Amino acid sequence: MFFHIVLERNMQLHPRHFGRDLRDKLVTKLMKDVEGTCSGRHGFIVAITGIENVGKGLIRDGTGFVTFPVKYQCVVFRPFKGEILEAVVTMVNKMGFFAEAGPVQIFVSNHLIPDDMEFQTGDMPNYTTSDGSVKIQKESEVRLKIIGTRVDATEIFCIGTIKDDFLGVISDPGATS
């Protein structure tokens, strides 16, 4: 889910950037440092939407760098357990399938795929029901539920399930082509 939150960060600036464009340089550096990053607590910082406040700079002893506390607003994407997401399948193998919902990767194990769907190998590996009516392959859109999350230094990885009611394939690229 997306959230709009206010975060604070201490930005260090080299003295060569001091001048009338100091604030602009600070904001540019903030955008470069923060946008696209991921933290366990806040999720993916998708975009900075505004600067609330730039505090007084503090000169660091011995280096001449100055640290500015910057409060900024941003849009973050953070999945949470129990959340229902619509994801696009990126890879299918016998262990399950991988899908993406925005910047988040989700893995659905074959144990969490309905029992009546079986893995089919081939050029386009897929999971298909016995009657062939439902197929999960690359580019399929699926609705899944997040049941677990793993936080890395730069990304969040989720475990999902489609083995519940109202979960499963939304659209199959094979059916629409």
Partner 1 sequence: MTEKGGQGFGNSKGGKSAHKSSGKDNGSAKSKGGRKVQFESEGSGDKVRKGDKIANGSKSSQAKAPSTQECRLERELPENSKFLMDCEAAEILQGIQEQMVMLSEDPNIKLPVSFDSGLMYAKRGSYCTKSLTVGKILQPLKIYGVSDAEICQIANLRAESVEEVFCLIPSLKAKENKIKEPLRIALGELTNLRDALDELAKFNESVAMD
Kindly tell me which of 12 and 125 has the beta carbon lying closer to partner 1.
12
Q: Let me know the angle formed at the C-alpha of 39 by 33 and 44, rounded to the nearest 5 degrees.
A: 75
Q: At 28, give phi and psi (nearest 5°).
A: -60, -45
Q: By CB under 8 A, name the binding residues for partner 1.
A: 1-12, 28, 31-33, 35-36, 38-42, 44-47, 49, 75, 77-78, 80-84, 86, 100-103, 111-116, 134, 143, 145, 147-153, 159, 161-170
Kindly tell me which of 25 and 123 has the beta carbon lying closer to partner 1.
25
For the CB of residue 64, give the shortest distance to partner 1 in the complex, in Å: 16
Q: Give strand ranges (E) for 15-130.
A: 38-39, 43-54, 58-59, 66-77, 84-93, 96-101, 104-109, 117-120, 126-129
Kindly tell me which of 89 and 113 has the beta carbon lying closer to partner 1.
113
* CA–CA gap between residue 116 and residue 129 (Å, rounded): 5
Output the six-digit token pair for 146: 């997040």
Write down the residue that tokens 């629409």 correspond to: 176
Kindly tell me which of 83 and 125 has the beta carbon lying closer to partner 1.
83
For the CB of residue 35, give the shortest distance to partner 1 in the complex, in Å: 5
Kindly tell me which of 124 and 175 has the beta carbon lying closer to partner 1.
175
For the CB of residue 125, give the shortest distance to partner 1 in the complex, in Å: 19
For the CB of residue 93, give the shortest distance to partner 1 in the complex, in Å: 19
For the CB of residue 145, give the shortest distance to partner 1 in the complex, in Å: 7
Output the six-digit token pair for 70: 């910057």
Sign of CA dihedral 154, 139, 77, 165: negative
